[in-house]
Amino acid sequence: MKTVKAKILVDQPITEAVLDEAIERGKTRLRGSLQATGVSFHQQSLTVSFEDGTGVLLPVSHYPEFDNFEDEDYASLKVGISGTALCHEEKDLLVSIAGMISASKSLMSMAASVVSSRNGRQSSAAKAEAARANGKKGGRPRKVEITQ
């Protein structure tokens, strides 16, 4: 088993440079993920809005966390934890938005389809070189059926 030694020393003094670096790391991390900006409730569904203008509609009947909620409780639901969770203070509820989306079979199927499509379009340097080499030879060789 590999042992990993902690790199962050808790007794290091906090300077302006250290704080600036931490803030920059946080901004970089925030830019790399989709953050929810709002949540609303109508017709027994939660609409979670994201910073890029997109949103997702999640029926509350699929999530047992909301079984004891009344209509007025949904009005107090807020986006928290840097846009990654839905929070309700009075009910002491904290629900991951990614977890809610991953619990939806249809949304996960769509996500898998999108990821597969994107990955299929990617070309590595080796793949591009092989395609050029095959092109110089007249293209991909035809498959020959061997009959016995």
> For the domain bounded by 36-107, which CATH number is listed?
3.30.2020.40
Residue-level pLDDT at 80: 84
Q: What is the pTM of this model?
A: 0.58
* Residue showing tokens 């250290």: 18
- pLDDT tens profile 75-124: 888 888 878 888 988 888 888 888 888 888 888 888 888 888 777 766 77
Between the alpha carbon of residue 39 and those of residues 27, 47, 84, 140, the distances in Å are 23, 6, 12, 52
Q: Tell me which long-range contacts 28-32 makes (C-beta under 8 A, separation of at least 24).
A: 30/82
Mean pLDDT of the 129-140 span: 80
Q: What is the pLDDT of residue 31?
A: 65
Supply the pLDDT for residue 144.
Answer: 81
Q: What is the pLDDT of the chain when averaged over all its residues? A: 81
Residues 6 or more apart from 73 whose CB is under 8 A from it? 88, 90, 91
Over residues 21-64, the pLDDT tens digits come to 888 887 777 665 678 888 888 888 888 888 878 888 888 888 88
- pLDDT score for 10: 67
Q: Can you give the pLDDT at residue 117?
A: 79
